[in-house]
Amino acid sequence: MKGVSFLSCLARSFRLYQKLLPQLLVFLCTSFLSAVVASGDVCQAINCDCTSLLVVDQRDSCSQRQVVLVKACRTSGAVQGFCQQAGLQASPVALSLPVQARKALVAVALTMDELRTQSRMLHWSVNEDHSASKALQNNNNFRGALALRKRENVSRKKLQALQYRLAEMLTVSDDATDAKQLFENLYPLHEAAALDSYRSGAELWVLPEEAGRELTAKEQKLQQILAQRLLRNAGDSMELAADAAFQAGHHEEALQAWRLAARYTQELVGWKQSVGAKDSHVRFYEARAAARLQRATLLAAMESAAIAY
């Protein structure tokens, strides 16, 4: 009887397996195809915006790089590297807040009132984090200051993304003047934070041992990490300032801000190398500095062309 029961159970399991097998195959095939399509979408999104470059050699170099990026992406299923000679709408680029990343930060549909409310909250948040982190730093609470500086950097990018979305809605409503004013207000906010972060980071990097007591090895390490974070924030905030200045129509200010953002990042590369940072980290910041310098060069060329015209 036990043998009969076992065989009966086995038969039922086999029939269930036969019934579910087609569904399982469909699921696996669908998953595979979805992955392939998703990979294709990622690769298809690569666009170095070469046609907007003014110099023929740069356009050729840009197009060749795009071909390499697309080929590598289709081989690996993921984006490998960045556009180098690139237009204003290029993606991917080694900037802190490229176009696609900015759009992804505000993926949910929001009303104009909701955008304004969130913008006010983030404006308050970045100012609070900036001030509070300085107080913690002055009390040698480097870990606490570091956490706030990281959050401030993320919030600034989200604020920029919200302002872009709000400006788009205002432009659609034939209110381009108010849209431009958003960036007029945003540029000095980011610029002031960038300059302050740079000064604070530079001072902290060379800060001697505190009078009256020595910092522990752990505190010295955290002090060093915080100084690097401050310089990273300075470069990122200056990039946002450059972008806002350009959107406000202040091209000369944008050009200078891009150059400063590149300089801060180049300085950070030197700091990273001096403490023996991983080569991958150094290369990342080298690429970011190069992308910011290339953007400054592009704006300078656009300005020269406009004057000549």
Concatenated DSSP letters of 196-231? HHHHHHHHHHTPPPPTTSPPPHHHHHHHHHHHHHHH
Average pLDDT, the chain: 86
The residue assigned the tokens 């891009």 is 258
- Please, what's the b/e burial string for 265-274 (b: 16 or more CB within 10 A of its CB; e: otherwise)? bbbbbebbee
Q: Where are the domains of the chain?
A: 47-93, 99-252
* Mean pLDDT value of segment 128-147: 96
Residue 120's pLDDT is 95
Residue 21's pLDDT is 44
Residue 216's pLDDT is 87
Which contiguous run of DSSP H or E holds residue 186?
A: helix 176-205
User: What pTM value is reported for the model?
Assistant: 0.83
Residue 4's pLDDT is 45
Q: Which amino acid is at 194?
A: A
**Looking at the DSSP assignment, which residues form a beta bridge with residue 47?**
91
Q: Return d(Cα 187, Cα 251) in angstroms, integer.
A: 12
Q: Return d(Cα 202, Cα 223) in angstroms, integer.
A: 11
Q: How confident is the model at residue 68 (pLDDT cuts 50, 70, 90)?
A: very high
**Is the separation of the CB atoms in 118 and 108 below 8 Å?**
no
Tell me which residue of 41, 51, 56, 55 sits closest to 90, measured CA to CA: 51
**202: Cβ–Cβ under 8 A, 6 or more apart, which residues?**
227, 231
Query: Which DSSP letter does residue 51 get?
Result: G
Q: Return d(Cα 138, Cα 145) in angstroms, integer.
A: 9
Residue 128's pLDDT is 97
**Is the separation of the CB atoms in 166 and 119 below 8 Å?**
yes
User: How many helices (H) and strands (E) would you count in the chain?
Assistant: 9, 0
Q: Which amino acid is at 45?
A: A
Determine phi and psi for 241, rounding to 5 degrees: -65, -40
pLDDT beyond 50 at 38: no
Q: Is 281 exposed, middle or buried (0-12, 13-18, 19+ CB in 10 A)?
A: middle
Residue 176's pLDDT is 81
The residue assigned the tokens 């974070």 is 229
Q: How confident is the model at residue 17 (pLDDT cuts 50, 70, 90)?
A: very low
pLDDT tens sequence across 70-93: 999 999 999 999 999 999 999 999
Q: How confident is the model at residue 208 (pLDDT cuts 50, 70, 90)?
A: low
Q: How confident is the model at residue 24 (pLDDT cuts 50, 70, 90)?
A: very low
* Mean pLDDT value of segment 220-229: 95
pLDDT tens sequence across 237-282: 999 999 999 999 999 999 999 999 999 999 999 999 999 999 999 9
